[in-house]
Structure 1
Amino acid sequence: MNEILPVADRRTVRQYARQVARDHPRELSLVIGLHALAAMVGLVVPRMIGDLVEAVENGTTVDHIDKIALIIGSALALQTVLTRYARFASTRFGENLLARLREDFVKNSLGLPLGVVERAGTGDLLTRTSRDVESLSWSVRYAVPETIIALVTVVFTIVASLLVGLWVAIPCLLGVPILWVGTRWYLRRAKDGYLRENASYASINATLAETTEGARTIETLGVQDRRRKRIDADIAESYAAESYTLWLRTVFFPAAEMGYLVPTVSTLVIGGWLHSQGHASLGDVTAATLYVQFLIDPVDRLLGWMDELQVGSASLARLLGVTLVPDDRSPSGEVPANDRLDVDEVRFSYIEGREVLHGVDLALRPGERLAMVGPSGAGKSTLGRLLAGIHPPSGGRVTVGDVGLTDLPLDDLRGQVALVTQEHHVFAGTLRENLALVLDDTGADGDATLRTALDAVDALDWADALPDGLDTVVGSGGHALTDAQAQQLALARLVLADPHTLVLDEATSLIDPRSARHLERSLAAVLHGRTVIAIAHRLYTAHDADRVAVVEDGLISEIGSHDELVERDGSYAALWRSWHG
């Protein structure tokens, strides 16, 4: 079972919301001010209608009626204009806020320790970047502005109704206990319900992704029924989670309707009695009833959007949860004295109590080409990841220039050591953009720099053959690159990134052996003077290396040149005979 990334608590979510409000005081004040003006102008109408009723009761003229009608019409027209600009300001504020949330999430996601992402799997992070961002987008664009409108309207409507007479407070207060109890009951349960719902989507995505990516393996092992049962269980959990939140709404919304009905009926009853006793005019009763009726719509919208806000709050908590992942490195500010990479008594375990590496020692000379070979599961890739600074060791140290790799900031680390694996990603965009993303500036040479990198990894011929050359759109929705071409693209990025040490973990595994050997020799020529650690099962890589390290059972059992190890007639010699023969 994959670990789920953390979720922010209510306090963290509230702190973030307050920080956003402090960072945008003018925009927020403008939004609230415009909505307040629109609400105030709209409240003229019930008062005018009450005055009209009272005037008709006492006898009036056509001119007086026309005057009131003109005031009502003018108020409605002005309210329409103010509402238009208020909603425009709300939408603009919401879009700016959403842009900030997205940028913060992308920044925080890119800063996640790779080990954490691997343990959590792709499903949870994918759900946060898709469904949670989409839910939050809806909340920011619609729920937040509508809630602000409803709150402002409620406040000014209550004030206006109390100006009619303090007695109006009685029917208004009668509906409060129903709404208060119902809302409190709902809020105590809603967030956890929606978090459970979103977590169930993450599980479904993870299972689907794993099943799709491993379809051939699943078919080979004959475990299709087990995978179907797994996805059925995930769907059942999602169904249960959604049923629970639906049940909450079916209880909460009818209770809210009762909270609307009681004040309206009470206003008519109390107002009618006061009018019969001569304590309130017919105009006051009419205005009070209309004000209470006016309250229904904003309160209803407030409670209705509250449900959407709970969804958005749960999504925001999941997005902010990415910031709660503890960093796996603590930059010291030290600068490496040289490019020498050293491994000193390094131990590592993915699961506590189950070590993968057991006290590995290794010293790499700058500019050396080291090949790491050994049986599957021996710890080669794990050692490679520690050499690239992906994981901090559980014990011992991995240093560059006497500075621990995990003591370097990530940006500095990537300028020192880079890892390229058989896994690769082609971003949606042009081939030029895919290459240039590792550069702050392509320099005066422009495309010549990119073409040189492609030529270094034998990719220039097929790049020039693309329909639009470097301007060809690749990745999702664009021109499909083969696995070999995608790997060459990843290697070209490394040439452009120009680190002094490269860790190649089966980096050419998807290229046919003849092309791979030519590619590796070309790459070696380009990376002359740099340290290269190549992890591979193809032993011609070891043959061409300066030294070979044989990794067995989490330890380096042999190290030396190809000829030395063959002459030693140990594990490497046996591997060489088996592979070469």
Structure 2
Amino acid sequence: MTGTHAAADDALPVANGRKTAGEVWRLSRGHRLRLAVVAILGIVSTTVDLIPPVAIGFFIDRVRTGTAGLGTVLTVTAAMALSAALGAAGTAVTIVLATRAYHAILAALREELVARALTLPQHTVERAGTGDLISRSSDDVTAVADAAPAVIPVVTVTAFTIVVSLGGLAALEWPYAVALAVVLPVHVFAMRWYLRTGPRVYRAERAAMSARAQQIVESQRGHATVLGFGLGEQRHRTVMTASWAVAVQALRARTVQSMLNARLNLGECLSLTAVLVTGFVLIGHGASTVGGATTAMLLVLRLLGPVNQLMFVIDTLQSALASLNRMIGVTTIAVADTADEPPAPRDPAHAVRLEDVTFGYGTGPRVLEGITLDIPTGQRVAVVGASGAGKSTLASVIAGIHPPGTGTVARPASTVVITQEIHVFAGTLRDNLTLAAPDATDDQLRAALDTTGAAGLLDLLPDGLDAVIGVGGHPLTDAQAQQLALARLLLTDPDLAILDEATAEAGSTQSGLLDRAADAALAGRTGLVIAHRLTQAAACDRIVVMEHGRITESGTHSGLIAAGGVYAALWSAWEAGQGT
């Protein structure tokens, strides 16, 4: 993608400096007048701060000539006090305005990041790892936001101070400006070295943080598996290894900062020496005064102070810029990836059409091979097969979660997928239902619950639709959560509904209830059912049998039983198992 690069082939992209600058400039639209006021006010306030060095030099020359009196002292003192007050006030207002603009732009970027993250295709997130996206949405946003108090005052003041101090030094006596310009390349080379080295180090640090976040997320999501297989110690070592990788990258970053300090200290010593030697020569030839040399030294010291402050926050600044590049990398990739949606079938009589579709995860073997499938509009099709046959992968490809490796997929734009893993959001029951239909009335919500057999849930919850469920609220059973998902499907009213073992309450007393709920949710719409129980498949209009990523049989329940093939054998085994 133009303007971005990735640390790894599957990682989410990281925007380069030019792309980041362009996006920040775009986001600054609406704040540019305030930024212009910041620039003008910053220059004025730092110009006022030039008065004390000039006043001190003037006072020294008057003292040397014996013309200084009480009036001179009072005048110099008043000028310095007034300039200090005006300069401090102007600097404070400048920082406040700059901070407001900074946070306004950051808020807009954060909103775009969240919006793009929620629309990223699942296959893109899975390839990069959910930890990477979580790190960009949390660690990187925090790094950029937390940098504001430290970076904005220093960068704002430093930028204007450097420009005004150099201009003042040149206006005082140009040889002093020339002397400083001779050693200025030392600072320039130091910063160029750091800007060339620092971003790479900080990108590596952020990448290590993403890897650590991925390991932590996987350990938390697979907590039951970790406990069941006794993998606690192994997962602990894995997380510790990832954490040490973060520590190593952090030490590299601190080492780079120390090397920068050494270079800037050298530049500082050379700057003071150059101005002192120039003053000595000019005074010896009568081309300058002690007061002029003092003013020049004070201006250089005044220039070095902000530079030293910048040195202490450059670490934070580079870390924030690295995080900003990663955030903008997400906001720019999402537009391209989400634009590649499978087209709707040209033939309205068919809701889904697959032609010679193949698919494999990454560089692994193909999971789907030569799949050609048509699903007529309004028909309910079941997909059955042994574990690993490719059933869920087929559902994901049809849903658009994974793009096919080869072949074409056409499906309706309005498609809803429900899997066995149902998420109940922390909030009220009404909030969980209106996620699917924000404008739905309470009567419509109750009707959806009633259709899916979940109306009794309202009687169990003390506050009905206003009852808090999920984390921190009333816990729902797996069956109740699946009924909630089916109610969402009804409220969404999609053209195509895909149930990927969505009612797989295997062996529970709720299986019949969930099957009836699924039947009600699929009534009158095209449905694809990845059947966990063959009774689900038997209730569908057509059954597709998969083996090793291929469709080996297709037909009605009675037709496949009569054919005596794979499905007939599966059905006989199912009936035998149910009879035991």
Gaps of 5+ in 1: 406-412
* Other-structure match for 1:487: 482
CA distance in 2, matches of 1:559, 1:238: 53
SS of the aligned residue for 1:359 comes to: strand
1:279 maps to a residue whose letter is A
* Other-structure match for 2:36: 29
* Other-structure match for 1:536: 531
Closer, same or farther: CA 490–85 of 1 in aligned 2, 3 Å: farther
1:517 maps to a residue whose letter is G
Residues 426 and 469, structure 2, Cα contact 8 Å, conserved in 1 = yes
* Other-structure match for 1:499: 494
1:447 maps to a residue whose letter is D
Residues 2 and 121, structure 1, Cα contact 8 Å, conserved in 2 = no
The structural deviation recorded for 1:276 is 4.8
Closer, same or farther: CA 436–328 of 1 in aligned 2, 3 Å: closer
CA distance in 2, matches of 1:479, 1:176: 67
CA distance in 1, matches of 2:148, 2:467: 36
The structural deviation recorded for 1:106 is 1.8
Give the one of 158, 163, 169 matched to 2:171: 163
The farther-off stretch of 107-116 and 137-146 is 137-146
SS of the aligned residue for 1:514 comes to: coil
The structural deviation recorded for 1:155 is 0.4
SS of the aligned residue for 1:390 comes to: coil
The structural deviation recorded for 1:377 is 0.6
**Alignment coverage as a number of residue pairs:** 565
The farther-off stretch of 145-154 and 485-494 is 485-494
> Quick check: 1:59 aligned with 2:57?
no
Closer, same or farther: CA 471–216 of 1 in aligned 2, 3 Å: closer
CA distance in 1, matches of 2:424, 2:10: 27
* Other-structure match for 2:559: 564
* Other-structure match for 2:423: 425
Deviations 1:29-84 (CA, angstroms, capped at 9, x unpaired): 12222222221122222222322333344333323322332222222222222222
CA distance in 2, matches of 1:215, 1:440: 34
Closer, same or farther: CA 12–478 of 1 in aligned 2, 3 Å: farther
2:22 maps to a residue whose letter is Q
Give the one of 324, 344, 347 matched to 2:333: 324
* Other-structure match for 2:381: 370
The structural deviation recorded for 1:488 is 3.2
Residues 381 and 542, structure 2, Cα contact 8 Å, conserved in 1 = yes
Residues 264 and 289, structure 1, Cα contact 8 Å, conserved in 2 = yes
> Quick check: 1:119 aligned with 2:127?
yes
1:379 maps to a residue whose letter is G
SS of the aligned residue for 1:340 comes to: strand
* Other-structure match for 1:410: none
1:88 maps to a residue whose letter is V
> Quick check: 1:198 aligned with 2:201?
no
* Other-structure match for 1:409: none
* Other-structure match for 2:360: 349
The structural deviation recorded for 1:573 is 2.5
CA distance in 2, matches of 1:455, 1:43: 77
The structural deviation recorded for 1:8 is 2.1
* Other-structure match for 1:456: 451
Closer, same or farther: CA 467–289 of 1 in aligned 2, 3 Å: farther
Deviations 1:133-182 (CA, angstroms, capped at 9, x unpaired): 11122345642553232111110111112222112214423542332222
Give the one of 432, 435, 445 matched to 2:433: 435
Closer, same or farther: CA 2–569 of 1 in aligned 2, 3 Å: farther
* Other-structure match for 1:397: 408
Closer, same or farther: CA 287–527 of 1 in aligned 2, 3 Å: same
Residues 457 and 523, structure 1, Cα contact 8 Å, conserved in 2 = yes
Gaps of 5+ in 2: 1-7
The farther-off stretch of 366-375 and 342-351 is 342-351
The structural deviation recorded for 1:471 is 3.5
CA distance in 2, matches of 1:515, 1:237: 47
Residues 548 and 562, structure 1, Cα contact 8 Å, conserved in 2 = yes
SS of the aligned residue for 1:155 comes to: helix
The structural deviation recorded for 1:2 is 9.8
Residues 175 and 260, structure 1, Cα contact 8 Å, conserved in 2 = no
> Quick check: 1:39 aligned with 2:49?
no
CA distance in 1, matches of 2:430, 2:242: 41
Question: Residues 263-412 of structure 1 correspond to what in structure 2 (within 5 A)?
Answer: 263-322=271-330, 323-324=332-333, 327=337, 330=340, 338=348, 340-352=351-363, 354-400=365-411
Query: TM-score with structure 2 length normalisation?
Result: 0.89
The structural deviation recorded for 1:337 is 5.4
The structural deviation recorded for 1:190 is 1.0
CA distance in 2, matches of 1:429, 1:264: 64
Deviations 1:250-293 (CA, angstroms, capped at 9, x unpaired): 11112212322332344344324533543322322222221111
CA distance in 2, matches of 1:573, 1:159: 90
The structural deviation recorded for 1:517 is 2.3
Closer, same or farther: CA 563–514 of 1 in aligned 2, 3 Å: farther
* Other-structure match for 2:154: 146
The structural deviation recorded for 1:438 is 2.9
The structural deviation recorded for 1:22 is 6.0
Closer, same or farther: CA 331–551 of 1 in aligned 2, 3 Å: closer
SS of the aligned residue for 1:508 comes to: coil
Closer, same or farther: CA 335–502 of 1 in aligned 2, 3 Å: closer
Give the one of 140, 143, 147 matched to 1:132: 140
Give the one of 13, 20, 23 matched to 1:13: 20
CA distance in 1, matches of 2:352, 2:340: 19
Residues 171 and 264, structure 1, Cα contact 8 Å, conserved in 2 = no
Residues 453 and 495, structure 1, Cα contact 8 Å, conserved in 2 = yes
How many percent of aligned residue pairs carry the same amino acid?
36
Give the one of 179, 184, 187 matched to 2:195: 187
Closer, same or farther: CA 48–394 of 1 in aligned 2, 3 Å: same
1:419 maps to a residue whose letter is V
2:571 maps to a residue whose letter is W
The structural deviation recorded for 1:194 is 0.8
Closer, same or farther: CA 34–434 of 1 in aligned 2, 3 Å: farther
Closer, same or farther: CA 346–311 of 1 in aligned 2, 3 Å: same
Closer, same or farther: CA 92–465 of 1 in aligned 2, 3 Å: farther
The structural deviation recorded for 1:222 is 5.4
CA distance in 2, matches of 1:491, 1:174: 74
The structural deviation recorded for 1:482 is 4.4
Closer, same or farther: CA 281–69 of 1 in aligned 2, 3 Å: same
Give the one of 243, 252, 255 matched to 2:251: 243
SS of the aligned residue for 1:344 comes to: strand
CA distance in 2, matches of 1:487, 1:332: 27
Residues 347 and 360, structure 1, Cα contact 8 Å, conserved in 2 = yes
The structural deviation recorded for 1:100 is 1.5
* Other-structure match for 1:408: none
Closer, same or farther: CA 294–430 of 1 in aligned 2, 3 Å: farther
* Other-structure match for 2:4: none
CA distance in 2, matches of 1:360, 1:331: 19
The farther-off stretch of 40-49 and 565-574 is 565-574
Deviations 1:432-461 (CA, angstroms, capped at 9, x unpaired): 33322333533xxx3222232233333343
Closer, same or farther: CA 365–171 of 1 in aligned 2, 3 Å: same
The structural deviation recorded for 1:101 is 1.2
Closer, same or farther: CA 564–318 of 1 in aligned 2, 3 Å: same
CA distance in 1, matches of 2:100, 2:275: 39
1:425 maps to a residue whose letter is H
2:270 maps to a residue whose letter is V
CA distance in 2, matches of 1:510, 1:155: 71
Closer, same or farther: CA 183–197 of 1 in aligned 2, 3 Å: same
CA distance in 2, matches of 1:493, 1:143: 46
The structural deviation recorded for 1:90 is 0.9
Residues 183 and 271, structure 2, Cα contact 8 Å, conserved in 1 = yes
> Quick check: 1:88 aligned with 2:86?
no
Residues 353 and 375, structure 2, Cα contact 8 Å, conserved in 1 = yes
Query: TM-score with structure 1 length normalisation?
Result: 0.88
